[in-house]
Amino acid sequence: MRLFEDRPLPRLTAGVDEVGRGPLAGPVLAAAVILDPAQPVAGLKDSKRLNAARRSDLAAEIRERALAWSLGRAEVAEIDTLNILRASLLAMQRAVAALATPPELVFVDGNVAPALPVPAVALVGGDGLMAAISAASILAKVARDEEMVGLAETYPGYGLEQHKGYGTAAHLAALETLGPTPLHRRSFAPVRERLGDGGPAARPASVPGELFP
């Protein structure tokens, strides 16, 4: 892929993507990846177009072959306080900041890029257009799915290991029966409507803001 005026992209170009905007429960996770042109990873595509086994295999290859990769996250309390868009951008900022090798340029899947200390370009549909973003989408998806499977043991009865926090019929039925857990996003209407008092959850006194305002 080439940038404006057909100039080659810098070698240290990172792709960034997040997963977890839509679920009713759990954090939002982002990944940043700088691929190594000398060690390409075959078969990269949007994580949603891959089955779980293939995503897991590719994630292992990405972690082994990439020049650098990292994860960032925003917790449920941050999602409820900041809103899901700002929390997603914060997770992306944290992922980029955690890269062992700082990037020269960042491409982000979507139509909004977070504030970063290097140039950042939002690319709609980027997880299907750019290998580094595809790699980031795979790492973020695998990491979040694994975390939700683990959390299912802490919060049994909700089916988190199956739907990963998304608002399926089974998840909504469990919310009706069991009520929300600390893992559920109180700012999301299906959860808020099932709170005992019908009002917003208590929020922390402070939440970290953007790393690079």
Per-residue pLDDT of the chain (213 residues; tens, 9 = 90+): 444 445 688 999 999 999 999 999 999 999 999 999 999 999 898 778 889 999 999 999 999 999 999 999 999 999 999 999 999 999 999 999 999 999 999 999 999 999 999 999 999 999 999 999 999 999 999 999 999 999 999 999 999 999 999 999 999 999 999 999 999 999 999 999 988 644 444 333 334 445 544
Phi, psi of 130 (to 5 degrees): -130, 130
Question: Could you give all domains of the chain from N- to C-terminal order, each with its CATH number?
Answer: 4-156 (3.30.420.10)
Q: How would you class 206 by CB atoms within 10 Å of its CB: exposed for 0-12, middle for 13-18, buried for 19 or more? A: exposed
Please give the C-alpha separations between residue 188 and each of 40, 112, 197, 201, in angstroms, as whole numbers.
40, 21, 15, 11
